[in-house]
Amino acid sequence: MTTSALQTNKPLVIYGARLIDPASQYDGPGAVLIENQRIVGVSQSATLNSKPDGADVLDAQGCVLAPALVDLHTQVQGLLGNGLETPATLARAALAGGVSHAVVHPSENCPLDTPEAIMAFLAQTPNDGAVLLPAGNLRHQDTMAEYGLMQEAGAALLSDGGQVSPNAAQRLAHLRYAQQFGLTVCLSTLHPDFDHLATAGAVASGLGLHGTPASVEALTLAQQVMLAQEARCRPLIGPVTTHQALETLRKLDREAMAVTWTPVTHLSFNAVDMGDLDPQYRLCPPLRIDDDRRTLIEATRTGLVPIITSSHAPCSTGGKLNPFSQASIGGAIIEDLLPAALSLYHTGDVELLTLWQALSLTPARALGIDTGEISKGAPANLVLVDLDAPSVRRAEALMSACKASPYDGRRLQGRLLKTWIKGQMMYDFEHELAEASC
């Protein structure tokens, strides 16, 4: 995409929209005026009373205008490389998913465990994509990483990258040290002693897959929360995907309550989707039983789990051409995050405002970044969405370098039309369509 073709410095009026603003809990007709990267006017009617001379005007025709998404959990495959998901490819894929900010966690091939690694990451982040926030690794090899220096280098937060240290005393020391820098810490619920190939249960045992008990997630969650409480920090903890973990959350002292998140895939799919051992459904954590999925949707509705993530975990397409147990884990999800989450609205399970709160405002506030709302003075990070447009998701058509997704071939309802970051239109569906047809 040549985003320069979409960008202009002129003021922009968007009118005729259905405005969704979780910060003010407003869901109704509205219009906004954008100027100098910010929202400078908001109207709760279909039109603005006045518009500056020379402003561009966009008739939103009843589409939803809402804050762009903030994705708390993504990964890349490396900083450079043909065919791999890099900061450059992820930043552009994020735009196609309506994501203005994405936290990139450490991964095997991009460990983000030194200040130099953080600087190298940021050097590869393009200006014409979404804002990528690198999470510094809590560990450098087997020792504590340089949290202070990584923060100076640009680490937005710290993360264990899904690799929980088996040494709880070490984890407590890490949290205490991180706390002194005021850094948000993201902790995983993946127990280090299990392989997380499948969830123990009738489906896994019937398929001959070694299963990890679902209750292990609650075990790890409780331990992480307690250690964080001991270190007097309030971490982001996830993924939360089981009813046992939700039950643990309900029992926690409000003071100890961590901010938790769940991957959108676990709101969409259950273990039965693994029934024909299709490697597209090899995810981490593994898919759960449908009771878990239903309970998780309810927890999203009530805000017990307040954040939905893509948990975009790119892998090689060839890695999916293996038997299930040997297949690559994960997939490209960030472009499917919004339509997949919208299916909860279309089924009547979760209201649109609640959904957008979980996709934008709450993760923004958890990270302490200025986005996620439509108010005068707020950065103009916005998306325009046709709620009802149906689409058949095609992994091969993704902008992500990874062409594997559990949503491949699925019919979803809701299409992202445009993404603005700081007032600049960075993604336009019709423009993409025209380029593709050329």
Residues at the site binding other proteins, with contacts judged by CB under 8 A: 200-202, 204-211, 213, 276-279, 318, 321-326
CB of 204 to other proteins, least distance (A): 6
Give 148's Cβ-side CA count (13 Å radius). 4
Residue nearer to other proteins on the CB measure, 15 or 269: 269
For residues 268 and 290, what is the distance between their CA atoms, to the nearest angstrom? 10
Residue nearer to other proteins on the CB measure, 24 or 326: 326
Residue nearer to other proteins on the CB measure, 57 or 321: 321
CB of 269 to other proteins, least distance (A): 17
Residue nearer to other proteins on the CB measure, 148 or 201: 201
DSSP characters for 224-254?
Answer: HHHHHHHTT---EEE---SHHHHHHHHHS-G
CB of 320 to other proteins, least distance (A): 9
CB of 399 to other proteins, least distance (A): 25
CB of 210 to other proteins, least distance (A): 8
Residue 182 in tokens? 């005021």
Which helix (DSSP H) or strand (DSSP E) does residue 434 occupy?
Answer: helix 429-437
Residue nearer to other proteins on the CB measure, 209 or 259: 209
For residues 297 and 335, what is the distance between their CA atoms, to the nearest angstrom? 20
Residue nearer to other proteins on the CB measure, 73 or 320: 320
Contact 52, 291 (CB under 8 A): no
CB of 282 to other proteins, least distance (A): 10
Residue nearer to other proteins on the CB measure, 62 or 208: 208
Quick one: DSSP state of residue 289?
Answer: -
Using alpha carbons, select from 30, 53, 107 the residue that is nearest to residue 76. Answer: 107
Quick one: DSSP state of residue 392?
Answer: E
Residues 6+ positions from 430 with CB-CB distance below 8 Å: 417
SS3 351: coil
CB of 279 to other proteins, least distance (A): 7
Residue 67 vs residues 18, 259, 370, 375: alpha-carbon distances, Å: 12, 20, 11, 10
For residues 175 and 179, what is the distance between their CA atoms, to the nearest angstrom? 6
At which residue do the structure tokens 């910010």 appear? 38
In DSSP terms, 69 is beta-bridged to: 99
Residue 142 in tokens? 């087997």
Residue nearer to other proteins on the CB measure, 37 or 215: 215
CB of 212 to other proteins, least distance (A): 9
CB of 318 to other proteins, least distance (A): 6
Quick one: DSSP state of residue 359?
Answer: I
Quick one: DSSP state of residue 360?
Answer: I
